[in-house]
Amino acid sequence: MQHNTDILIIGGGAAGLSLALRMADTHHISLISKGILREGSTLYAQGGVAAVLDPKDSIKSHVQDTLAAGANLCNEEVVRFTVEHGAENIEWLIEQGIEFTRTSNNKEYHLTREGGHSQRRIIHAQDASGRAIETTLEHRVRTHPNIEIYEHHNAIDLITSTKIGHGDNNACLGAYILDRKFNRVEVFHAKHTILATGGASKVYLYTTNPDTSTGDGIAMAWRAGCRVANMEFNQFHPTCLYHPDAKSFLITEAVRGEGGILRLPDGTPFMKKFDKRAELAPRDIVARAIDHEMKRLGTECVYLDISHKPAKFIIRMFPTIYQKCLEFGIDITKEPIPVVPAAHYTCGGVITDINGLTDVKQLYAIGETAFTGLHGANRMASNSILECLVFAQAVSKHILKQAKPGANNIELPLWDESRVTDSDEEVVVTHNWAELRRFMWDYVGIVRTDKRLRRAKSRVNLLLKEIDEYYGNFRVTSDLLELRNLAVVADLIIQSAIDRKESRGLHYTLNHPQLKEHPENTVLRPRGYTHK
Catalytically active residues are 283
CA angle in degrees (0–180, nearest 5) for 358-359-365:
15
Q: How many CB atoms lie within 10 A of CB 119?
A: 17
Q: What does the DSSP assignment read for 289-351? A: HHHHHHHHHT-S-EEEE-TTS-HHHHHHH-HHHHHHHHHTT--TTTSPEEEEEEEEEE--EEE
Nearest to 144 by CA among 31, 221, 227, 234: 31
- Cβ atoms of residues 373 and 75 within 8 Å: yes
Hey, which bits of 62-195 come out as E strands? 111-112, 122-123, 147-150, 153-160, 172-179, 184-195
Q: Bridge-partner residues for 261, per DSSP?
A: 305
Q: How far apart are CA 178 and CA 508, in angstroms?
A: 38
3-state secondary structure labels for all residues of 239-265: EEECCCCCCCCECCCHHHHCCCEEECC
Q: Which long-range contacts (CB under 8 A, 24 or more apart) does 76-79 make?
A: 77/354, 77/373, 78/354, 78/372, 78/373, 78/374, 79/373, 79/374
Chain centre to alpha carbon of residue 495: 20
Helix axes 76-84, 384-401, angle to 10 degrees: 90
Question: Half-sphere exposure (CA, 13 Å, Cβ side) for 56?
Answer: 5
CA atoms in the 13 A half-sphere facing the CB of 164: 19
Supply the angle between the helices 86-96 and 384-401 in degrees, to the nearest 10.
Answer: 90
Cα end-to-end span (Å), the chain: 32
Displacement of CA 215 from its chain's centroid (Å): 9
CA distances from 458 to 50, 222, 495 (A): 40, 20, 11
Q: Of 97, 151, 122, give the one whose Cα is nearest residue 45.
A: 122
Mode of pairing for the β-strands spanning 147-150 and 172-179: unpaired
Report the alpha-carbon distance of residue 529 to residue 132 in Å, rounded.
41
Selection from 114, 35, 182 nearest residue 385 by Cα: 114
Nearest-angstrom CA–CA distance, 373 and 520: 11
